[in-house]
Amino acid sequence: MNTSFHIWKNNRSIYLKFLEHNSLEQLNKIPTGFNNNLIWNIGHVIVVQQRLVYGLSGLPLNVSEELFQKYKPGTKPESDETQETVELFKELLISPIDQTIADFESGKFQNYNEYTTSKGFHLASAADAITFNNYHEALHLGTMVSLLKFIH
């Protein structure tokens, strides 16, 4: 799992740079032909990781229900986000990493409700979910790189 956690940390540091190097206007811009923006993608990967790893393990999410509902699969941006959301996401990109690693290493993820993703990946354990999460976050990173071309 060390490799999966290392990949996740690196990917989250890339996401953090999007928040640090783009204006609030750029983070909220939805270019023609897209149905979301940079900040939605960041909120989405934050809540999906929590659902895949914690929620399907029968454990409480480390994000609010309101945040989960706003960024869960099937949602899209409904309004512009504020600088407060940017600051929250800066924290939520990083803080869950050490918590998830500690919880994994302590054996907290004993039960897992098996789940098949919309892309056909079968997740049978929290370890599977952690590995799949890297794939999911990479897909959204690709989308974000594409978005960048249209917002600058």
pLDDT tens digits in sequence order for the chain, 152 residues long: 899 999 999 999 999 999 999 999 999 999 999 999 999 999 999 999 999 999 999 999 999 999 999 999 999 999 999 999 999 999 999 999 999 999 999 999 999 999 999 989 999 999 999 999 999 999 999 999 999 999 98
Fold of 2-151: Four Helix Bundle (Hemerythrin (Met), subunit A) (1.20.120)
- pLDDT score for 152: 80
Where residue 58 falls (left for φ over 0; alpha for ψ -120 to 50; beta otherwise) is: left
CA 73 – CA 68 distance, rounded (Å): 9
Residue listed under structure tokens 């907290």 = 108
